[in-house]
């Protein structure tokens, strides 16, 4: 209710602050009997981990996950799974005058006015560090969905600042620090380097795609698959826009073009992005998100202090020049939580449903 639980049937409750002793989450509702160990979770955390290249924050966290409960003899028990990640590099000294001022574009100001106090240590609860437990929880959901439906979650960067990144292949994504689906990232590196020297930051655009989603997931009117995806994506730190399928491009499409034709061999296009009427079609879920530039930058900014007077803010410390760079595994994980939730809901209400004719394939060849 106070907004720290994601999902209902597969409910993930997140806790912790950037510079507290630990962060983590509790997963409630995981089906019992699934083999699970830290080794299933750690790889996704490692993909999100800071300190892995000079283009992300130099904070050095192992982000080692521990399973505190809910697994017995290597299998989930159906009871709450507590995942704990200890904070090990919570330096707090580098924050300049931000304790007494508000960073433009940052949650400093709103946290103070909501709660009456701020935890300035690394942004406290507003830090993107709190996405780590979600990546961990998402790994659990991914594993179950892979087992049940062979569902596959993939993401990549499609734009960073002014640099549009064309799609070449999913295979390139793990081979560069940007999650870019291209073989050669020299131009991205050059762009980021220029940005870093300018003490500035930039935005990014991320694409996430999910294959092998069963037809029929999503709960209209309101808990539509696409509505819940939008909720999940916009809830990620720094996200300012969400598109499904053709997204804003559908504004200029005509109906004769937008509506994806059906054939016995499959759908002929995927402007819908895998969702019609809020329910999955069986096609790939296609999601695109806009991420704003990091608000914590070295350049001086005009602001006010705690007393309400004018002030200039300079943010020192270790920050990502483009928070979008590490957003790909986060977006994948949140999407996995959405699909997991709806898979369970569908079993609850509709597991007796039988349709005379089989669904058509996702995509006509």
List binders of a copy of itself among 77-96 (CB under 8 A): 77-82
Residues in the interface with a copy of itself (CB under 8 A) total 162
Question: Which among 211, 153, 146 is positioned nearest to 329, based on CA atoms?
Answer: 153
User: Distance (Å, rounded) from C-alpha 298 to C-alpha 113?
Assistant: 25
User: Should residue 235 be labelled a site residue for a copy of itself when binding is judged by CB under 8 A?
Assistant: yes
Q: Which of 39, 162, 171, 365 binds a copy of itself (CB under 8 A)?
A: 162
Indicate the residue among 354 and 365 with the shorter CB distance to a copy of itself: 354
Cis status, amide bond into 70, omega within 30 of 0:
no
What the block records as the tokens of 71 is 């697994």
How far apart (Å, rounded) are the C-alpha atoms in residues 82 and 12?
A: 10
Rounded Cα–Cα distance for residues 248 and 242 (Å): 9
203 is an interface residue for a copy of itself by CB under 8 A = yes
* 32 Cβ neighbours under 8 A, 6+ residues apart: 75, 76, 77, 78
Which span (135-143, 168-176, 181-189, 201-209) binds a copy of itself, by CB under 8 A? 201-209
Residues 342, 347, 348: CA angle, nearest 5 degrees: 95
Residue 178 binds a copy of itself, judged by CB under 8 A: no
Interface positions, 240-279, toward a copy of itself (CB under 8 A)? 240-264, 268, 271-273, 275-279
Residues 240-252, buried b or exposed e (16+ Cβ, 10 A)?
ebbbbbbbeebee
How far apart, in whole angstroms, are the C-alpha atoms of residue 352 and residue 66?
38
* Stretch 280-299: interaction string toward a copy of itself, x if CB under 8 A: xxx-------xxxxxx-x-x
Give residues 11-40 in contact with a copy of itself (rule: CB under 8 A): 11, 13-17, 20-24, 26, 28-33
Tell me: does residue 150 bind a copy of itself (CB under 8 A).
no
* Least distance between a copy of itself and beta carbon 150 (Å): 16
Site for a copy of itself in 329-348 (CB under 8 A): 344-348
Q: Alpha-carbon distance 118 to 129, whole Å?
A: 17
Is the CB of 139 or the CB of 175 nearer to a copy of itself? 139
CB of 132 to a copy of itself, least distance (A): 12
Query: With 0-12 CB in 10 A as exposed, 13-18 as middle and 19+ as buried, what is 120?
Result: middle
Instruction: Quote the least distance from Cβ 349 to a copy of itself, whole Å.
Output: 6
Residues 299-328 that bind a copy of itself (CB under 8 A): 299, 301-304, 306-310
Minimum CB–partner distance for residue 315 and a copy of itself (Å): 10
363 scored as a contact of a copy of itself (CB under 8 A): no
Contact 180, 157 (CB under 8 A): yes
Q: How many C-alpha atoms does 257 have within 13 Å on its Cβ side?
A: 7
In the range 41-70, which residues lie near a copy of itself by CB under 8 A?
68-70
Residues in 107-126 that interact with a copy of itself by CB under 8 A: 107, 109-117, 119, 121, 124-126
User: 18 or 176: whose CB is closer to a copy of itself?
Assistant: 18
Orientation of helix 132-149 relative to helix 327-350, angle to 10°:
50
């Amino acid at each position: 209710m106070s907004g720290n639980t994601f999902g209902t049937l597969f409910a993930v409750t997140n806790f912790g602050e950037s510079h507290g002793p630990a962060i983590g989450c509790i997963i409630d509702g995981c089906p019992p009997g699934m083999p699970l160990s830290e080794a299933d979770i750690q790889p996704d955390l490692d993909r999100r981990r800071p300190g892995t290249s000079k283009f992300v924050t130099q904070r050095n966290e192992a982000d080692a996950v521990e399973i505190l409960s809910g697994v017995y003899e290597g299998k989930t028990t159906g009871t709450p799974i507590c995942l704990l990640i200890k904070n090990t590099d919570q330096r707090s000294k580098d924050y300049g005058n931000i304790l007494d001022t508000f960073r433009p574009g940052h949650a400093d100001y709103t946290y103070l006015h909501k709660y009456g106090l701020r935890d300035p240590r690394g942004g406290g609860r507003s830090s993107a560090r709190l996405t780590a437990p979600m990546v961990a929880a998402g790994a659990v959901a991914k594993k179950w969905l892979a087992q049940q439906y062979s569902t596959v979650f993939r993401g990549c960067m499609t734009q960073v600042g002014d640099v549009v990144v064309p799609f070449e292949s999913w295979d390139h994504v793990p081979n560069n620090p940007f999650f870019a689906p291209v073989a050669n990232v020299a131009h991205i590196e050059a762009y980021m380097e220029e940005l870093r020297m300018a003490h500035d930051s930039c935005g990014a655009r991320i694409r996430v795609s999910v294959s092998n989603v069963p037809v029929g997931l999503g709960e209209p009117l309101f808990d539509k698959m696409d509505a819940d995806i939008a909720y999940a994506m916009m809830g990620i730190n720094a996200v300012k826009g969400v598109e499904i399928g053709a997204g804003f491009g559908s504004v200029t499409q005509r109906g004769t073009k937008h509506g994806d034709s059906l054939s016995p061999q499959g759908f002929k296009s995927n402007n819908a992005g895998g969702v019609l009427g809020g329910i999955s079609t069986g096609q790939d879920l296609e999601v695109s998100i806009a991420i704003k530039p990091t608000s914590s930058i070295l350049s001086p900014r005009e602001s006010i202090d705690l007393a309400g007077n004018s002030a200039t803010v300079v943010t020192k410390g270790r920050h990502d020049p483009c928070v979008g760079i590490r957003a790909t595994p986060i977006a994948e994980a949140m999407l996995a939580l959405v699909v997991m939730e709806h898979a369970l809901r569908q079993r609850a209400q509709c597991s007796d449903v039988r349709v005379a004719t089989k669904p058509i394939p996702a995509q006509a060849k």
